[in-house]
Structure 1
Amino acid sequence: MMTINVGVLLAVVVVMRLRRRTQARSRAEERNTALFVLALGIVIAPTPLGQGIFDVIGQLVNGISRAGT
């Protein structure tokens, strides 16, 4: 039996949609792409990869805020 990871499938869809030229997109296509990216973020967030990305971004923001003061 073959299984497919939803996160990988969404990542492939997002990459394929973002490769298209910007001028050729309608508002509906851009809205759909944004929804796919949001869904990908929701799927990835609870995984160890998502938590690692969250931690790295948190450290980056923390470093930038400390540098500004």
Structure 2
Amino acid sequence: MDLAVLLAVIIFFLVRRRPLARKRSDAVMTATVVLVFGVLIAPTSFGHWILNTTGELAQGVSNAATP
């Protein structure tokens, strides 16, 4: 099993929990896991696709906002 897939599953379950039941340490752990997930997925083709798609979306919003 790929480490990025395992972290994606962990992130899914961490985010699904009720936010009122979280402690500060849980929030820090979630942020750390998400950061590591981002570092692992960034050099992959899927990571490049996400970067390009987000960039195109931001450019489209920016162009739509300018008169």
What's the TM-score once normalised by structure 2's chain length? 0.93
For 1:1-69, list aligned pairs within 5 A: 4-69=1-66
**Structure 1, gaps ≥5 residues long:** none
Letter in 2 for 1:37: V
Letter in 1 for 2:40: V
User: How many pairs were matched up?
Assistant: 66
The CA distance in 2 between the partners of 1:18 and 1:63, in whole Å, is: 29
The CA distance in 1 between the partners of 2:65 and 2:13, in whole Å, is: 38
Q: Give the superposed CA RMSD.
A: 0.7
**Structure 2, gaps ≥5 residues long:** none
1:36 Cα shift? Answer: 0.5
